[in-house]
Amino acid sequence: MTTRIVDSADVADSASIGDGSSIWHLAQVREDAVLGAGCVVGRGAYVGTGVHLGDHCKLQNYALVYEPAKLGHGVFVGPAAVLTNDTFPRAVNPDGSLKDASDWDAVGVTVGDGASIGARAVCIAPVEIGPWATVAAGAVVAKDVPAHALVIGVPARQIGWVGHAGRPLEPSGTPGEWRCPQTGTAYLESDGALRRAETDEETA
């Protein structure tokens, strides 16, 4: 696979870019960031120092992923979405002096494999987005999101479940069982977690 980095992108020499990845116009990838194979970093997107992305992640235009975020494989981050890193943001210290890197501790957002974060959503560190979860466009996530959960709103709240195909799951008619309208895959809900019916492995 051919890696493509356009001339207008700003990629630090110490960043690690996986095979087949594409980094587009005006994107910035900071020092020691690690991108897996086949990632796409859209126009104007930002990947902070030391951020880790798994294989086949897609950061859409102007997405901002601040350090020390960790994204699993196949994560989607929509246009202008933000993953924050400062729990108590201030430009200055109590004495009025300008804050620098030694005056605060960065905390990161963790995103599980296959999860999607919609356009202009904000994930407030140090939240964890579970594998295959979906954060709706414009949502503000201030607490952890379970695997396969569909969350919307400000603050974000769960309104349902999504399958591996990303479609909202529908009740199958059997209590505790859900089905994907696209693939027909069945999922079982138990104690606030979801798993595929044909496996014994929890997806949360």
Q: What is the mean pLDDT of the chain?
A: 95
Do both 176 and 91 map to the same domain? no
- How do residues 74-127 score in pLDDT, each as one tens digit? 999 999 999 999 988 999 999 999 998 888 889 999 999 999 999 999 999 999
CATH number, position 68: 2.160.10.10
Expressed as residue numbers, the domain containing 17 is 1-98+105-162
Do both 173 and 139 map to the same domain? no
pLDDT of residue 199: 59
Do both 112 and 190 map to the same domain? no
Asked if 45 and 25 touch (Cβ cutoff 8 Å), the reply is no
- How do residues 43-52 score in pLDDT, each as one tens digit? 999 999 999 9
Do both 180 and 90 map to the same domain? no
pLDDT of residue 200: 47
pLDDT of residue 103: 84
Q: Is the pLDDT reported for residue 203 higher than 50? A: no
Residue 194 Cα distances to 61, 115, 186, 188, angstroms: 32, 14, 10, 6
Do both 191 and 110 map to the same domain? no
Predicted TM-score of the model (pTM): 0.93
Do both 134 and 189 map to the same domain? no
Average pLDDT over residues 126-141: 98
pLDDT of residue 204: 44
Q: What's the distance, CA 55 to chain centroid?
A: 13
pLDDT of residue 1: 76
**Total domain count, the chain:** 2
Find all residues with CB under 8 Å of 102, minimum gap 6, and list them: none
Do both 145 and 52 map to the same domain? yes
Do both 198 and 122 map to the same domain? no
Do both 41 and 129 map to the same domain? yes
Do both 200 and 125 map to the same domain? no
